[in-house]
Homo-oligomer: A and B are copies of this chain.
Amino acid sequence: MRYEHSFLKMLCGVLRLIGTPHSGYAGELDHIKLAASVELMHTATLLHDDVVDGQAHRRGKKTARMIWGNQASVLVGDFLLGRAFKMMVECGSLRALEILSQAASVIAEGEVLQLASTARDPNATYEADYLRIIESKTAELFAAAAELGAVVTKRPQKEAEALRSYGMNLGIAFQIVDDALDYAGSSDALGKDKGQDFKEGKITLPVILAFRRGSEDERAFWTRTLHKGDQQEGDLQLAVDLIASHNATEDTIEAARQYADLAIKALDVFADGPIKKALVDVCNFAVHRSH
Contact = CB atoms under 8 A, between A and B. Distances in A.
Interface string A147-190: 00000000000000000000000000000000000000000000
Contacts of A94: 89, 92, 94
Contacts of A109: 79, 82
Interface residues of A, number: 35
Contacts of A70: 51-52, 70
Contacts of A251: none
Interface stretch (A12-20, A99-107, A119-127, A212-220): A99-107
B48 A75 contact: yes
A4 interface: no
Copies of this chain, count: 2
Nearest to A99: B89
A18 B88 CA distance: 30
B104 A81 contact: yes
A71 B52 contact: yes
A33 interface: no
Contact of A79 (B51, B76, B111): B111
Contacts of A101: 82, 85-86, 88-89
A101 B104 CA distance: 14
Interface of A: 45, 48, 51-52, 70-72, 74-76, 78-79, 81-83, 85-86, 88-89, 92, 94, 97-98, 100-102, 104-109, 111-112, 115
